[in-house]
Amino acid sequence: MNIRCMDNFTFLKIYGYYIAYFLLFLLIEVIIVSIFLYPNTMNFLQLYLFIILLFLVVIFNLLALHYWIKINEKYILKVPENFEIKEGEEYIGIVMSNSNMPEKKLFFTYGAGLILFLEYLIRNKKPYKFLKENNRKNKFNKSKFRELVYDKNCKELYILGHGRRHALKISDKEFLYYLFYANAPPKKKVIQLHCNLGNYVSLSELLNADKDFKEKGSRWLWQDVIYFLKRIKD
C-alpha cells in the first residue's frame, strides 16, 4: 500500500524551507563573525544590511513557529502509526515525546524535520512504527516504548524530544531512564535526537548500536534538521 501524506509540491516546499532557513542562518553567522574579526572595516552600509537581515530572520522565525507547529500537527495526525509492517521482517522505530512541552517549545520537535523523514520512509516503502503524541495532555506510552525497544525486528530507533544522555523526558517531572532497557536486543542504530548531557551510558551504548552518532552535550534544532536532511539522501 503506497500512502503519501503530502503531494510532491508540498514536500519540495517544506524541503526548500529548511534549505533556505540554513542558508540565511549561515549568512548571518558569517556577518557576525566578520564584525568581531574585522570591526574597523565595518561600514555603515554593511551594518545597515546586517540589521535588515537580522530583522528578517526574527520575523521569519516568528512566522515559522506558528506555521510549522500547525503543519506538523496536521501531518502527524494523518500519518499512519504502522506502515508496511510484516510479521518477522525488520522495521524502523520512531519515538516522539512532546507531552512535556508547552506550546512555545513545540518548535523543537515539530521543526526538526521529522515529517520529511516520515514522508521519505513512506515514499520508499520502508516499514516503520511511529510512537507519537497526538495530544500533549496524554501520558507517554511506556509500554509501547518498551515494545519497540525489546522487539528484535526493530533494528533502528529514532528518539525525538527532550532528555539527557541516559533518559528521555516524558513529562514535566518525569524521565524514562534507558538503563531499564539494558537487556533489550541489540540494534543497528539508536539515534537520540535530544540533549545528551551528563556522563552516563546512552541507550545506544546499552544496545551496542553503531557509533556513527554521538550522544554528547546539548542538541540544537539545526543539528536535527541537518541529520534528517542527510538521512533521507542515504
- The per-residue pLDDT for range 91-119, each reduced to its tens digit, is 999 999 887 677 767 777 887 888 889 98
* Phi, psi torsion values for 47, nearest 5 degrees: -65, -40
Q: Percentage of residues in the chain with pLDDT exceeding 90?
A: 27
Query: Looking at 33, 55, 78, which one is the last position of a domain?
Result: 78
Give the model confidence (pLDDT) of 37-61 as tens digits.
666 665 666 667 777 777 776 676 6
pLDDT level of residue 1 (50, 70, 90 thresholds): very low
Mean pLDDT of the 65-73 span: 72
Compute CA 188 distance to the chain's CA centroid, rounded to the nearest angstrom: 19
Q: Are 53 and 32 in contact (CB under 8 A)?
A: no
Residue with the bigger pLDDT between 27 and 160: it is 160
Mean pLDDT of the chain: 79
Q: Who's near 219: CB < 8 A, 6+ residues apart? A: 193, 194, 195, 196
pLDDT confidence of residue 19: 65
A 10 A CB-CB count for 214 gives 11
109 within a domain of the structure (yes/no):
yes
| DSSP category for residue 187 | -
**Could you tell me if residue 1 is inside a domain?**
no
C-alpha cell at 181: 532497557
Residue ranges making up the domain that contains 20: 8-78
Say if residue 66's pLDDT is above 60.
yes
pLDDT of residue 5 exceeding 60, the answer is: no
Same domain, 38 and 98: no
Question: 12 lies in a domain?
Answer: yes
Averaged pLDDT, 133-154: 83
Query: In the 8-state DSSP scheme, what is residue 196?
Result: B
In a domain, 2, yes or no: no
Structure pTM?
0.77
CATH of the domain at 135: 3.40.50
Which of 6-10, 27-31, 157-161, 217-221 has the weakest average pLDDT?
6-10
144 and 171 in a single domain? The answer is yes
| Whether pLDDT at 22 is above 90 | no
pLDDT band at 3 (very low <50, low <70, confident <90, very high): very low
Single out the residue in 53, 78, 103 at which a domain terminates.
78
Domain count, the chain: 2
Domain boundary among 23, 52, 78: 78
